[in-house]
Chains A and B, each alone.
Chain A
């Protein structure tokens, strides 16, 4: 028996309607459907472009495993990346422009720098009033072990001319529409620092695509945006690169401004080093605990400075107790910290953490508001319920 196309469509529509009716029974399919290869348990801020946030409870490991390392992309990741064909050009204010292959870079002396990377916009969601942008909360941060040649070794081979003052990075990310390309620059002084790398590896393995394979800049202690991924071009400039992601992007007002107040470009400066900050990894915000003995732990970092101490308050900030700092440390890396607290009775509590760095800077109660929500570093807090 033949079935007409019309009948087929009619029957199919009925079948689809029935399928729709039973869809709630299969909603589990939606719960675990956001699969990003190589990433596990990450908060999805966006899939296109890929912007993934580490849940704060993962800030309990000195080295953040790659599956838990945040991803911040401004553009589409390169659609094709071939290690054999990839080249890095070095030009601009140099005596001898270079074109290097991955093998060329791998032949240079490799160095390893353990560094915390944090997105400049981490904590933007807590800015009051709200500002536009990816609404990161606590976890656009992680600590990795990056390996590769010193950027200064490559610059030395090219020979920076006296006019060269800034070093520009351009990656292979793909630009949609008329969006300006993601190009930024750093001052020559930071570019030639002994810890600034062209990183080829992260945590002992080749960079993954999300983290800039085959090579990325690693500008330790500075906002993540300085550490350009999928690096393809380095250009030495006589002045700061003039482009959207240097100005007006990634700039802070020189003086605090009121929300809505206009700020002139000449009254702003680029965001560079990270500030002092701590986050509470556990207990997690909203947790209900069955024991009054509570192990509080987290991580604290301070950009180019070191962490001097971390304090914990469980009484609304009236008193602060010193947390114990973890043994693992590296100049640009976060320090893990912990504090064991016995809640006096059952009830609701707010736990706060406050870090102070080696230069005497302490996390403020309220972060400085700015139009793009950069460098949010207010005292962290979680609210918990103790049921015991």
Chain B
């Protein structure tokens, strides 16, 4: 019985985590859009900076090509066979004519009671 209570408590803890921390974490670090290269771009780029930096860009393919090559030079781990795919993914998802990214705001730090 005690064992079950512990499990129930653990499950409750996970629910609390899921309902509070997961959205909180999502808000802290938004994700890149779905696509065949989503996981690879996320791994390569967010090693150094978060996705927000990418989400706010609106660039044509030549500019994305320069950015990807610059970031590879600066240490982004991109398999050479994925370079063109990265450029395609970023150009397709963050083109010049996409509506602007809506940035959030910081809120006041909650006071300790």
A5-44 Cβ-contact flags toward B at 8 Å (1 or 0): 0001001100110111011001101111111111111111
Interface size class of chain B, counting residues whose CB lies under 8 Å from the partner chain: 35 or more
B14 touches A (CB below 8 Å): yes
Which B residues between 25 and 63 are near A, CB-CB below 8 angstroms? 26-29, 47-50, 52-53, 56-60, 62-63
- Contact flag A44-B106 (CB < 8 Å), given A1-B1, A135-B56, A260-B62: yes
Highest count of chain B CB atoms <10 Å: which of A39, A46, A55:
A46
Q: Name the distance in Å between B97's Cβ and chain A's nearest Cβ.
A: 10
Q: A44-B106, A46-B50, A55-B105 are in contact. Are A26 and B20 (CB under 8 A)?
A: yes
Minimum Cβ distance to chain A for residue B24 (Å): 4
Are the CB atoms of A35 and B4 closer together than 8 Å? no
Number of interface residues of A (CB under 8 A): 52
Bound form: Cα–Cα A52–B96 in Å: 23
- Most chain A beta-carbon neighbours within 10 Å: one of B14, B20, B26, B107: B107
Q: Which residues of A contact B63 (CB under 8 A)?
A: 130-132
For residue B15, CB closer than 8 A to chain A, the reply is yes
Taken residue by residue from 109 to 131, chain A's Cβ proximity to chain B (1 for < 8 Å, 0 otherwise) reads as 00000000000000001000111
Chain A residue with minimal CB distance to B95?
Answer: A130
**Interfacial chain A residues near B50, Cβ < 8 Å:** 46-48
Residues of B within 8 A of A41 (CB): 105-108
Q: Measured between alpha carbons, how far is A302 from B81 in the docked complex, in Å?
A: 49
Report yes or no: B19 in contact with A34, Cβ–Cβ below 8 A: no
Residues of A within 8 A of B101 (CB): 135
Q: Would A43 and B103 be within 8 Å (CB), given that A15-B14, A26-B23 are in contact?
A: yes
B85 at interface (Cβ–Cβ under 8 A)? no
Residues from chain A with Cβ under 8 Å of B26 in the complex = 30
Does chain B have a CB within 8 A of A45?
yes
Nearest A residue to B13 via CB reads: A12
Complex CA gap A87/B48 in Å reads: 27
Q: Which residues of A contact B60 (CB under 8 A)?
A: 129
Interface contact A179-B75, CB-CB below 8 Å: yes
Cross-chain pair count, CB within 8 angstroms: 140
Give Cα A135 to B108, complex, Å.
23
Distance A313 CA – B19 CA, assembled complex (angstroms): 49
Is there a chain A Cβ closer than 8 Å to B104's Cβ?
Answer: yes
Report whether A47 and B108 are in contact in the complex, using a CB–CB cutoff of 8 Å.
no
Q: How far is the CB of A224 from chain B (nearest CB, A)?
A: 18
- Interface of chain B residues 99 through 113 with chain A (CB within 8 A): 100-101, 103-110
CB proximity of B111 to chain A, nearest CB, Å: 11
Find out whether the CB atom of A132 lies under 8 angstroms from the CB atom of B73.
no
Which A residues are closer than 8 A to B by beta carbons?
Answer: 1-3, 8, 11-12, 15-16, 18-20, 22-23, 26-27, 29-49, 52-53, 55, 125, 129-132, 134-135, 176-180, 260
What are 16 A-B contacts defined by CB distance under 8 Å? A15-B14, A23-B19, A33-B23, A34-B28, A35-B108, A41-B107, A43-B105, A44-B52, A46-B52, A48-B50, A49-B49, A129-B60, A132-B63, A176-B47, A177-B75, A179-B74
Binding site for A on B (CB under 8 A): 1, 3-4, 7, 10-11, 14-15, 18-20, 22-24, 26-29, 47-50, 52-53, 56-60, 62-63, 66-67, 73-76, 96, 100-101, 103-110
New contact pairs (7) apart from A178-B75, A179-B48, CB-CB < 8 Å: A31-B27, A32-B107, A33-B24, A41-B106, A47-B29, A130-B59, A135-B56
